[in-house]
Chain A
């Protein structure tokens, strides 16, 4: 009898906090670029709260729209300002981001003399999995020498995958034609990923880095509809 179209719930979302001390376009851009380069996937599409609590009192006026644009350029998604001085309220409001009061979350303010906190608080990676991306669907044969990668999603191939071709996905792989090339599922480490195919004739199958070559596949489920999955760190190949 649930006729409601929505329900409001309280929830805690983990986000990266970027504590800004001072800002100049060149320095900020260089430092952020260096950080992102260390773990590009971690920062990709990541929600960010920009904290102004530690902003130096004598810092010159900041071009906030520019700062937000820079963050976006590097894949971050600024969603709020935290602990903004009242003097800046109007400027920040104009950027369209949410303003959160300082010290929210129940933590006592850290005394200035304390050891400086790391600029980026790395909390969780699970967040990334909540992002839904549509599966990649390929209808033409994938030929020798071609490579297809479904980034952040499943890969569905409606035709043959030739010997010498390579298909990769962060999620599952489905092949509705003979699978003769190399198929790698869960390439970013998803051990739940599986490979399903109509006819297993592959040169190599791999789930999260655990692979089997055609020689061992021949003894298991050759040229039959099959699935490949990981269980207890062992790659299983079963006929369907």
Chain B
């Protein structure tokens, strides 16, 4: 993991404000929190000072996936209500330097988020972070809209099935109309597609939409395809972002996605059924 200069360069007077990334999907259970944890960790591993915010007030999950649930004292809503400072609420990750988690409140609901409150927290974080990853709740209501309103970049997490694709399409429509950037007449939010739970064997059997099918419908650039893997479930149950397990295909696929998010050109992997047959090797297939 090479540490690059942005984190250091960022400390000079002419600091650029943090980039705000929203991880969203519309549909629930497609892997938003897993992806937020992986992308946030991936950015921190590359030396960027990163904060991950759990916007799912009332259904707090990010802390579990990051394995910091026992260290939650104050939360996002406390900071918004000025019951705690941002520094009190931010949890420093034990495994990855440069990584901080702002947990959601479990005892409140989405109405506890106010536009001004969210803006104040993001502004404060922007001053000394490089990236802010907003883990959006499912749905298209207030919580989700609040998570994407201030975004510069959107990662739309989609499963290769029709209902998930339809919901992602809906969220893309909201990204085009209800963000600060649109209202201020700035460049629109950069949209990226992250396809999760991809199973090449089932695609081949015609049981799942292919990468091409999904790209054809959503028509936004693809930053990653995460293969369906037991490693993902295992990692979240252990409270460890799957990207830290570079032995697994899912971990490697998330690393590739983070590289593409940063503008690097990386070839897509894990799209084909893995066959290590005798003939394939003989004919020089990889």
Contacts and interface: CB of A to CB of B under 8 A. Distances in A.
Interface string B34-65: 00000000000000000000000000000000
Given A143-B170, A144-B166, A144-B169, A162 B217 contact: yes
Contacts, number: 36
Chain B facing A: main interface SS: helix
B121 interface: no
B115 to A, nearest CB: 22
Given A143-B169, A144-B166, A144-B170, A160 B177 contact: no
B76 to A, nearest CB: 28
A224 interface: no
A161 to B, nearest CB: 11
Contacts of A141: 172, 219
B176 interface: yes
Given A163-B166, A164-B166, A144 B219 contact: no
B219 to A, nearest CB: 6
Main secondary structure, interface of A, reads loop
B114 to A, nearest CB: 25
A158 interface: no
A145 B219 contact: no
Residue of A143, A160, A180 with most partner-chain B CB within 10 A: A143
Nearest to A164: B166
Chain A interface extent, by class: 10 to 19
B118 to A, nearest CB: 23
Contacts of A144: 166-167, 169-170, 173
Contacts of B169: 143-145, 162-164
B178 to A, nearest CB: 11
Interface of B: 140, 166-167, 169-170, 172-174, 176-177, 217, 219
Interface of A: 140-146, 159-160, 162-165, 180
Given A141-B172, A160-B217, 6 more contacts: A143-B173, A145-B169, A146-B177, A159-B219, A162-B173, A164-B166
